[in-house]
Amino acid sequence: MPGPPPAVAAVRVAVRRALTEGALGDLSDPRPPGVGPGPDAPLLLVGCSGGADSLALAAGAAFVAPRLGWRAGAVVVDHGLQEGSAEVAATAAGRCRSLGLEPVVVAPVTVGQSSEGPEADARRARYAALATTAHRAGARAVLLGHTREDQAEQVLLGLARGSGARSLAGMPAERELDGAPGVLLARPLLGVPRATTRQACTELGLEPWEDPHNDDPRYARVRARRALADLGRDLGPGVVAGLARTADLLRDDADALDEAAATAHLELGEPPWPVDRLAPLPRAVRTRLWRRLALAAGSPGTDLTSAHLLAVDGLVTAWRGQGPLPLPGGIRAARTGDRVSVGPARS
């Protein structure tokens, strides 16, 4: 019997790898042929917009997940940002159901406005809806359809912003979903080209939704996508793969530095910390310590920049009696004598 078309096979292999390796692999339980998952099997939800990437992922999960002992459903987030968004969401939900996914939840959200811009605002609302839906459904995992091009775009945007190694490491293949303890967020298609997901939809007879925002230059990601296309023409077709590979390599480096910072935190104990014990540490470790303290105190990670962290580090390396430094979220860093602290500002 002939196998599936190549693009369909590539998506299924990527989903199978995600569900059998890493943290999700501990939950998978391959089923005998013809035996589906039981009612107590773990549930995963595919975040599906109806676009080619998430629709191909939904199809791949619908085929692979039951064979590995998973129940597979979907969540469709309706951002309400475009006319007819409810109809688009309903159509995407219908396609997920036609693939055999169950439950399929449509989650309408209200996108707030902040100084971070519409992309960040929509992303915040989307991830909050994913977390809420996963918690209510009792899901153990949420799968997202980010592809190799999405990873390359993330790295390119980080380079343009002058970001550090953690940002340039791109999107992790799996992490805990914020706001949903115990729920894993996984991206099985990070190594799969976007053209493959589109071809998989064609081979399966699935018609993806074409999001008009994907061609709107007001959005930074759209501009990054166009810049990548220009780089590919000028430097060769390996640019996308090279940037994605850079993310993988830098993620290993960033993980090692985070581990070093965690070890230093244990050795230093609770702040305030003496300068003579901080000064010998590499700056890359110290700045991670400041970030850890600021986040633990309630500073929003989206607003905490490298400039903030370097300013805090100056309390160790270039202190001339300067006063407390304000950080986002009502947090402050201060040096008193030979000790440095980071915590909530006193009212």
> Is 52 a known ligand-binding residue?
yes
Q: 294 and 147, same structural domain?
A: no
Q: Is 269 annotated as a binding residue?
A: no
Residue 236 pLDDT exceeds 90: no
**252 falls within a domain:** no
CA distance 58 to 332: 45
> Does residue 300 share a domain with residue 221?
no
Does 151 lie in the same domain as 63?
yes
CA distance 103 to 17: 23
Q: Annotation-wise, does 36 bind a ligand?
A: no
Q: Closest Cα to residue 103, out of 76, 80, 123, 128?
A: 76
pLDDT in tens, 283-342: 999 999 999 999 899 887 767 888 899 999 999 999 998 889 999 889 999 999 999 999
Record the tokens describing residue 200, joined without a space. Answer: 């998989």
* Distance, CA of 254 to CA of 164 (rounded, Å): 9
CA pair distance 235, 311, nearest whole angstrom:
37
Asked if residue 231 is part of any domain, the answer here is yes
CB-count exposure of residue 136 (10 Å: 0-12, 13-18, 19+): exposed
Span 158-187, pLDDT tens digits: 888 777 788 888 899 999 998 899 999 999
Domain of residue 290, residue span: 269-344
| Count of structural domains, the chain | 2
The average confidence (pLDDT) of the chain is 92
Whether the CB-CB separation of 166 and 154 falls below 8 Å is answered with no
Strands 273-274 and 339-344: antiparallel
CATH number at residue 26: 3.40.50.620
Residues 200 and 280 in one domain: no
> Considering the chain, what percentage of its residues have pLDDT values greater than 90?
70
Q: How confident is the model at residue 347 (pLDDT cuts 50, 70, 90)?
A: very low
Burial 150-170 (b: 16+ CB within 10 A, else e): bbbbbbbbbeeeebbbbbbbb
For residue 216, what pLDDT is reported? 85
- Same domain for 215 and 295: no
Per residue in 253-282, pLDDT (tens digit) is 999 999 999 999 999 999 999 999 999 999
Same domain, 178 and 315: no
Residue in the structure block whose two tokens are 């990054």? 224
Residue 51 annotated as part of some ligand binding site = yes
- For residue 1, pLDDT beyond 70: no
Whether residue 53 is annotated as binding a ligand: the answer is yes
Asked whether residue 341 is marked as a ligand-binding residue, the answer is no
